Structure 1
């Protein structure tokens, strides 16, 4: 106890710096967990959380027996898994390529170009997609010139996932590469010079010098991404939805919004959200265990 108090006194300034983040996390992350109890009640805004009738697992049974929930769950998983598998390697490749640019001015301009889409509003991004992919948009004009027929990209369910994922990669890959670029900046240039003198080509230097440097970061980022695989952003999917592409665009976040806020069934929507969070926790623990075994004990925890 005395040793712990001595440590706190010695490093008190670090805890002062940590305090705002800790307080915000407790208020905005742990505080709202209290509201999750409505998933086990027939919540009434008039009676309040504590005054509402307790129904146990009734709403969870309703979730699992809902005729359309299986389709919604599969849509969510497909969108998340495909997005992770296709999008995860792109920031790493961008960072490796940026690391080969030696002129600082050129490198900064390229980084600015790659990072800029991250700061465009989701609403603007979706608006751009509707304009570019509309029947009279530039992409369809090119297709009409080549094939004679336009493609209804935003109305056909089979195109929704690819449009969502590829636009996500375009907007987020550059910004996501920052952490890898920072890690590669710590690589001693003498290692590359020595490897070149020994006859190693570019691919061999990347494989044996650059990739081992970013591998621990890759493991942590992958675990966090896989752990949040069910936490797809609601805004973009909802904005991209049309009456025609609902078979693939209806996912858990949009379903919760429609049932909870539009239909007013708060308890049922809370049960769906809690079920979604439970899957995220299971995935996070599972992926962390697998990555630790494959990555020589290096994981998130």
Structure 2
């Protein structure tokens, strides 16, 4: 469990290491400018906001936008799509990084291990625009996948315009791009496991699988729980870039999520107050989920964010 730091010790550390704390200034400014100051803009969710009139002079609307939000069929569609894709991410992508880390941790040929790590890290540095282009080309009518399936007599399929394939495409592309990068944290946690535990287990006749289940996984469980809690807090925050470059009107029924709906309705159509209400709802739900999951984690495992 992460314990609180006494104020006196913080000030003492600042006096001893002023340059280290100066390095925090860019990060603090980032969160201040892009995270905390914009919170004041949530007031437009309760207004009929007009750009030419500004926040101070726009008419007050009260809860009208929230009432329209909960009465809208679009709201339930985008919320369902967001929850399904986020749920698949938690059930498939999140554990995939743990499994891959455990597999890499068992590799003893260091040259081979480093090579594999470098290969699986690289997709993380590609933007979703590039990855989206690669996925579209791979799944196009004349792409490699349709050519391969054509060898078995199957007619070409426009995968990107089939609703039944979209969620699989999103999850598969997420695994390919991000899972390798996520292993860094787990491998770092595994490197901190006391080697004496493995030696004692080996002397007792435990095999590598038994040591993995009884030593490695319990040792990194706090790290897993912390990362899981952070994921829960962003349950409604899917990667906008990923969905935006992959979806199209033909798959809106399963692909349109909260963030893409906010972009189309708020920015493109100018319904700023309505989409601000959606964003506020999303933030409140994320906060409630984070607090609830943090409480459950603290009660069940002893690991928590606070």
Shorter-chain TM-score above 0.5: yes
* Shift of residue 209, structure 1, vs aligned partner: 1.2
Q: Is the deviation greater in 159-168 or in 104-113?
A: 104-113
* Shift of residue 21, structure 1, vs aligned partner: 2.3
Higher relative contact order (CA 8 A, sep 6+): 2
Q: How does 1:178-257 map to 2 (within 5 A)?
A: 178-257=184-263
**Hey, what does 1:126 align to over in structure 2?**
132
1-structure distance, mates of 2:53, 2:36: 23
Q: Judging changes above 3 Å, is the alpha-carbon distance between structure 1 residues 103 and 132 closer, same or farther for their aligned structure 2 residues? A: same
Secondary structure (helix, strand or coil) at the match of 2:73 reads coil
* Shift of residue 250, structure 1, vs aligned partner: 0.8
**Hey, what does 1:300 align to over in structure 2?**
305
Runs of 4 or more consecutive aligned structure 1 residues displaced over 3 Å after TM superposition: 3-7, 14-20
Question: Could you say what the CA RMSD is over the residues aligned between the two structures, in angstroms?
Answer: 1.7
Q: Judging changes above 3 Å, is the alpha-carbon distance between structure 1 residues 36 and 7 closer, same or farther for their aligned structure 2 residues? A: closer
2-structure distance, mates of 1:119, 1:261: 28
**Equivalent in 117, 123, 145 of residue 151 of structure 2:** 145
**Equivalent in 86, 98, 104 of residue 80 of structure 1:** 86
Q: How does 1:169-184 map to 2 (within 5 A)?
A: 169-184=175-190
Q: Judging changes above 3 Å, is the alpha-carbon distance between structure 1 residues 6 and 226 closer, same or farther for their aligned structure 2 residues? A: closer
**Equivalent in 48, 53, 58 of residue 47 of structure 1:** 53
Secondary structure (helix, strand or coil) at the match of 1:46 reads coil
* Shift of residue 139, structure 1, vs aligned partner: 0.6
* Shift of residue 231, structure 1, vs aligned partner: 0.5
Q: Judging changes above 3 Å, is the alpha-carbon distance between structure 1 residues 4 and 128 closer, same or farther for their aligned structure 2 residues? A: closer
2-structure distance, mates of 1:171, 1:86: 14
Q: Judging changes above 3 Å, is the alpha-carbon distance between structure 1 residues 271 and 196 closer, same or farther for their aligned structure 2 residues? A: same
**Hey, what does 1:93 align to over in structure 2?**
99
* Shift of residue 157, structure 1, vs aligned partner: 0.7
Q: Judging changes above 3 Å, is the alpha-carbon distance between structure 1 residues 128 and 51 closer, same or farther for their aligned structure 2 residues? A: same
Normalised to the residue count of structure 1, the TM-score between the two structures is 0.94
1-structure distance, mates of 2:266, 2:293: 31
**Hey, what does 1:165 align to over in structure 2?**
171
**Equivalent in 280, 283, 286 of residue 280 of structure 1:** 286
**Equivalent in 117, 124, 144 of residue 123 of structure 2:** 117
Unmatched segments (≥5 aa) in structure 2: 1-5
- 1:216-242 CA-to-partner distances (Å, cap 9, x unmatched) read 000000010011010011122111122
- 1:58-111 CA-to-partner distances (Å, cap 9, x unmatched) read 111111111221111101110111111111111111111111122322221111
* Shift of residue 121, structure 1, vs aligned partner: 1.2
* Shift of residue 206, structure 1, vs aligned partner: 0.4
Secondary structure (helix, strand or coil) at the match of 1:179 reads helix
* Shift of residue 138, structure 1, vs aligned partner: 0.9
Equivalent residue pairs, number: 298
* Shift of residue 264, structure 1, vs aligned partner: 0.8
* Shift of residue 120, structure 1, vs aligned partner: 1.0
**Hey, what does 1:35 align to over in structure 2?**
41
* Shift of residue 186, structure 1, vs aligned partner: 1.5
2-structure distance, mates of 1:223, 1:257: 27
Unmatched segments (≥5 aa) in structure 1: none
